Structure 1
Amino acid sequence: MLDLSDRSVVEIARDLAAIANDVARLQALMAGVAAHRSQRKDGQNGLSATEGHASPASLIQDITGGSKADVLRQVRVGKALLEEVIELREGRPGAGPESGQGGPGSGAGGSGAGGEGASGEAAVPAAAPRATWKTVLRDAHLGRRLTAEQHDVIRRGLGEPFDDSEDTAQVWVVAAASLVDDAVNLTVEDLAVHARAVRDAIDPVGAEQRYARRFENRSFRTWLDREGQHRGSIVFDDEDGAWINAITAAGLRPRRGGPRFMTDEERARAAELAHDPRSNDQLAYDLVMSVLRAGAVADAKDVFGVRQPGVRMLIVNNPDSGGGDPGPRDAYGRLLTAGFTEDRGHPLPGSVIDRNLCMHGTTEVTVDGCGNPLDAGREHRLFQPKQRLALAARDGGCMWPGCDMPGSYCEAHHIDPVAEGGRTDIDRGILLCKYHHLLLHNRGWRITRDGKRAFILHPPPDVGGPPVTLVSKAPWKWAWDPPPPPSKPNWRAA
């Protein structure tokens, strides 16, 4: 095995992953069947009970030896994959065709002898069931476009539509299809964030309710373990969780591959941090403790060094809302627009956005109907702060396939070399993390773009392979990708 070529290692790893994913699909289906045959109504005659187990998850865990979390996911995914099949077999309302025609022998357009109804007229074939967002996910999973983990996080993040209207159902279908397309470029963790962000974008009223539930779960407690070690547990609400992440990111960014382009002061601090003997967890602990000790009276530079942390929030403002308001409001004046943290795009409800708008104000970045930033300037050699903000709004982080580095850790890459007359123009710039920026320059990769179409990544000759279309990592791209139908410019507000 050690004598295999690099290309062989990659190809074998991909083949094994495909086999493992196929096995996982079959395991999920069998777990779903076991769950269906172990329902409460079956009592002691259910499959799990007859095998001596209290639940199908317990049965599957005993068979596979897997973790409880993995087994519970298998059961969830399996039940989801079999849901429509079970509904059709059991004849539940709404499970069949939507044409209103009866099935064979129903007496309402059903087939008789010779395929004709009782009136002698040819029977009208029933319409095929309408595709739902769940069938989109099921077909993508069975068609090998989604793994079991990806299927699970999309379904749980997107959740059930908030009403039964045709428009809402269609929005959920397109949302599910869009997330299936995103899955190929995202980690499972980031895909889960995207799914929740899409849900909050199309259901801002529900976003407030979900935020309120998470806010109620906030807690902080400490205790002393048997060895006399002080321990603690914190459950954050959405906003303070983002704030803590911003604090630790500000202190650890040089270790985690932050941008290379620094002042002398920043470079000296980065070198000092790189040689610090403490682990990242120890550094994060010391940093948070320093913040608690310093309190509100300390100079930010005493704690954070050269860069003060903060949580930048992004909202997509509909120009048709009028009056400069960031979005529609209900009868009580509450903002009905979801926002997102710049790093990783965690969704935030309108109440949090409105409060921060009041306290901190806004910086406006104009984009066209496809999400391309406009009117951010192009007069300098390096990308300026407002241009960087525009790139972050468009790209959502490092655009390299499979990279999950957030925007604040990225560098702006000129796709047209400045030495050859390339412009510092947001249309010709793209966010890359430090590692992938160096890889591109040092190993012969290239990025091109035709006008405002997609950025294309071209492998070097020694790597080979077809060009790769780069896709934005921003969860808020839902506002323009996919584009709305011409007849429904605000169709996402189902």
Structure 2
Amino acid sequence: MSLGSGIDHWGTNPGDSIDAALTAIESSVQELLATDPAYWRTGQKKDLLERLEKLQAQQAALKLRVLAVGGDIAEETGAKDASGWLRTELLVDKTVARAQIKLAVGVAKYDLVAAGLAEGVVSLDKARVIIKALDKIGTDPVASADDLVLAEKLLIDHATHLTANELRIVGNRILAEIDPERFEDAEAKALLAEEERAQQKTALRVWDNYDGTIGFDGVLPTSVGMRFKRLVEAYAQPRKQQLVDKGAPLPPWERLMGQGFSRLLETIDPAALPRHGGDATTINVVISLEELHKDLGVATLGYDETNGTTISAAEARRMACNATIIPWVLGGDSEVLDAGRGSRFFQPIQRKALRLQAKCCQAEGCDMPPEWCDAHHLDPWAAGGKTNLNDGALLCPHHHRLAHNPAYVHERLPDGPIRFTRRP
């Protein structure tokens, strides 16, 4: 690879030396790649990782220097800027390419950041954090040019012993560190303004993927978002620990968090929910009597097939055990044959009694703690089952799904556990 042999501003001809240096780097990397780290000593692995971290910062510094003065590349190729050339020639995504150009411009503004990258003491991630903090200071009406210089020095120093995330927190308060008396009031006002903006940015979007899943994304204020994260983790972590204790393979943490979020929604106390359309917040499940008795029947979440979402009858039966739903059973002419009542749900005192009796999930061989279990009707309410302790059983979410899965049958053994068997 050659960078050309043009004359630079200092009157030297660096073309050959640049090409030789890059060739040496490429050769050294190939030599390392030809070896197997599995046979390296521990000290060699540690040394390589430490030195590569520094080299990556220096490589980034070099790349950003070139991009900062890469206007001639765009001019020669007809691109709008160097990011256009990155997209067409190096197949770099548009947003990534533009972010690199923006960072190159930012680094060029701050000599200490550029020097820190070149020395390898400031990583690329930390450089982004520092530049963002400095740019914010530059627009602060209370901060002076001297404050900006001092902030850059302090952040470079902090970068030598903090992670990028820790540095981001320090960067948000760096002015208060410089002059507490002058900047604390300004910081408080800025935080209030930031929190107000966060309220305006709050959003939630929910959509049906039409594959048995619902997708959603959104933005929450930091205080609410962290609380949300902790609540979901409170349901996900015990599940992980259960698998660890059993020596079972761990699913991805994202899946555990998703299952924890599902559990959080399923266990919300309906009495604590706001009124919705005149009634306590509920989900209506509409199902015909014929479909209700089928192992592979279907039901609708909503009031009709047009405006609702289709689910299996098995899932509807599972939800009826512990979700806040109204199951509407319709006859052949869509007349209402039966509407669910509160008595169909196990009451809190009954759940406590079941937990006291069972100690854990009652499925054979399962020891999921009782607080993570659902109360299940052994005789389905659709078949006339009653909501009482004799007909109730504690099942973890996994076995509760199996209890309503047409592919499985279950029976209570004489000594109490519930055995699941796959249908032949």
Question: What is the TM-score when the length of structure 2 is the normalising length?
Answer: 0.45
- Greater helix content: 2
Larger radius of gyration: 2
- Greater strand content: 2
